[in-house]
Structure 1
């Protein structure tokens, strides 16, 4: 039986230590304590999880208007030469509001925490908001290689080194197991001096199993790849004695290693990133556009991102003021076929005085966009797939609602919401811009469409050899400005006519009643 009392005791101790932490002290539950953000608009305790990860507990920040970033610097005070840390919630964009949240920050590139002198909330326009010094002798938690490898005589069960990544994550290098021949086989962990099924818990393989559904390995593992194991709830590396590959059907231990002498400086476990708003009740359906040979013209306009049911739920990103509407739909998935030429008609504005309305369209492999607002270091890691590299900008057309009408979550679907919006084009006579794109055999399987100047506006493009037969494009809806204005004029003409007919009928009925009264 797993030592549950030990787990409860460690948990209570970790809470007590978190409230009495000293700078540069290791906390098994959270990491090395770095310091605390304090101020009228910011609060939170900062811990070093490992040499490339920070976490902030109970983080609150409520002044997002200042274009603020998480920042590392070689100096004791932040400078423009420092390193911006992207966030899971906002990507490389300025951070928005946080309210008593758990923020996890992964350092970009090959940066390591111990190489910097300060960590801060930094606004280029209004200087540092809060700064925490990084001790020169800081020692971030580190992973650990155990002294054994899997080595069994049945079904070629073996491995390379076994790494304890953090308290709940184990990596097995070069795993070998003939699952295609074995009667069954799963990973289990447990306590005691012998491997016994009755004292064990099944362990899921990341990407294959879930904690509640661990299935037998049925494929052949030939040592050409590594696997990662996620220990189940209530278990970490400090309260197990062994890890085994085990046949449950015949109660056979194929191979095992002993988990012992684990250093106390193993990194704490931080939950894998979960996309935002996946559980939003009634979130709108995501639209799909299939780029068939008769469907190669795509019009990109600006549009309202909606509230909790809108872009943030569809794309798991926090948007800015506008997002891309493609052929009238909010940030749809687009399928393009290799070898087919597509015309992307751009109506996102080119106002150089207001970046919100200056949106050159481009395609790239990163999910957040705003290439022109990235640092040189960030740009070096991004490949732009379309030409020209600077994107293409055209007249500005946008879908928006009347001022003061903001209860967007009241709409049951995107189409209901879209039908409530009005399409407006500044200078309708101004010419559109066209970005021509032909995906080739060398084009990545997944691209994203973006604005050069604004983060989190777009969606995904799937590049395929054959368009999916099981999917259909979302229904055609009016989106071209001239057609939409014409349909609106017809609607208003019909409404005026209907009102006139109703009024005439009322007068006619009134006259008949009046005549009858005097007969």
Structure 2
């Protein structure tokens, strides 16, 4: 029999605090609270407090409900939109004053939905520290920027959002009220009082970047608001091939991150920095409350150059546009949506533009891939005349990355004439000529010079004049183009060349499946432009080598020599960038290794080994992939068959004196003068290698822990290398000289050889 339980109490968790720090804490502790609730219910039963089955069901149901509520609270983010610490609402005395006031930071207030009829003759935003609003105060100028000696009189507003910055270094703690005040008649139109001891959000100072690779360092980083980082004294050599500011979650930076535009809103790989002070802003709706770290990360090689952690007790100002670069809007994130797999692909402009598509009910989903710069657009759509490629009267989508708003865009265009849009005719966005943008951006990315933008559009819109229906029962002629953007971020009408738009008639049936004629990805297209590569250096007839780390030399160096991309560093052997080494079978060679010996610092840990793999990185390989390459030196195997590196020593690196200048320097000899050689404390490693008699003709020196750091070892038979020829010639010369001296001496003493 179940006995009736007494005093069984299941407590609900306390409501979360209103500060962002408490929100972070609630997310971490929510699940623990739910578990404790259920545990208390179980404990009461275990102590002999019996209940009926129906009562037990109620208890379990309540516990499950509370568990769900706590889980929801645990995932609760700061309220959006977040305006800062709430001060109060205006009390209206005259002229319809309304508005909700928030403290953004120590010197900034935000007025949400401000209203005022504008009829006061001499009204201003007015603050002071007297008990009530009085003439003993001062003006907060609005707008903040104005011409003339005196601030402008306050104009009429209807639900306007306003940012007010206190002048002359004043802070909110220095005032007691905010008023809309008529200075001429000393009348208070509306007021709000600052609560005493108001807890105002403040910027947060973080440590500097952790120094891991490529000379990355900075002074202490500040979080100015929920979206903006201030990075002072930033140094980075710019040699990473695919490096970006990168944010995400987890205990360490990882591949599941998101690119952050640089200080000018660009998603190009990072340039070099020489002690510059910059601000960067998180993309989309991301805030500092959503991330665990900020890093400089190489996407292609999945490598962390340095990072800083984001504390969980943050309480920083909201991002409302009060900082230097934060815009007054947050756009939707566009880089985190997984890319779909398409069965259809056409390359409309060779090596420049590809289009992939998929029919999805009433919508057509399209992804454009274009080798364009950030001041260019790519366009694709229906030709103005079926049966030929015609720009005039065409209906196209113009896609590009907007560096001002820091967002990928795809906009509906109607091209009535091949001219600039004047608001009525020309290459015009539909919205400029009174129509509607029927295109919805789904995602966007920019990598290795390729911009990709995915969007969807209804097959049939309600725009009769400016939108052509997309047929799915037959082929239709299409057009595509790339070109420059103008100052309005619109497609700039220009004279097209044969390579930047299709001249021949190209037809697509958008309901087709497996229409896939793209032979390769645009990411694989080599950039034919750029500086002339340096010639490959060669080492022959040498038996001792010193291997250290250094920069790859940009487009002139590693990539030009090997034909594969680098991740910013490479082996320097005897002070030369990845030289070809020639060795002879049966001879012994010594390598002094200075590539790092601490596995805890992966960016500075590069054990040296010799292999038949042109890629290297044996330590990254598993199973069949690891068995595809053979190690000839620098690796041992444990009893389980795991590869263990044996050639590791202190870390020495050729570093840039400033930034990577390889693009402007014609020769490697001059380039080395822009570098400085530095070694950490410790001893070098040593590798002695006797070349096997059955070694193949081609081997490689590589890094055990990373791909693509080394280059070729040419293996020849004993005596066949150029160095050996020189040695034999020198030996013949020495023997001849000795014999000549002996003969001369014998003749001088009167001895004659019989």
The one of the two structures with greater contact order (alpha-carbon pairs below 8 A, sep at least 6) is 1
Give me the TM-score of the superposition, normalised by structure 1. Answer: 0.45
Instruction: Kindly name which structure, 1 or 2, has the bigger radius of gyration based on alpha carbons.
Output: 2
TM-score under structure 2 length normalisation: 0.31
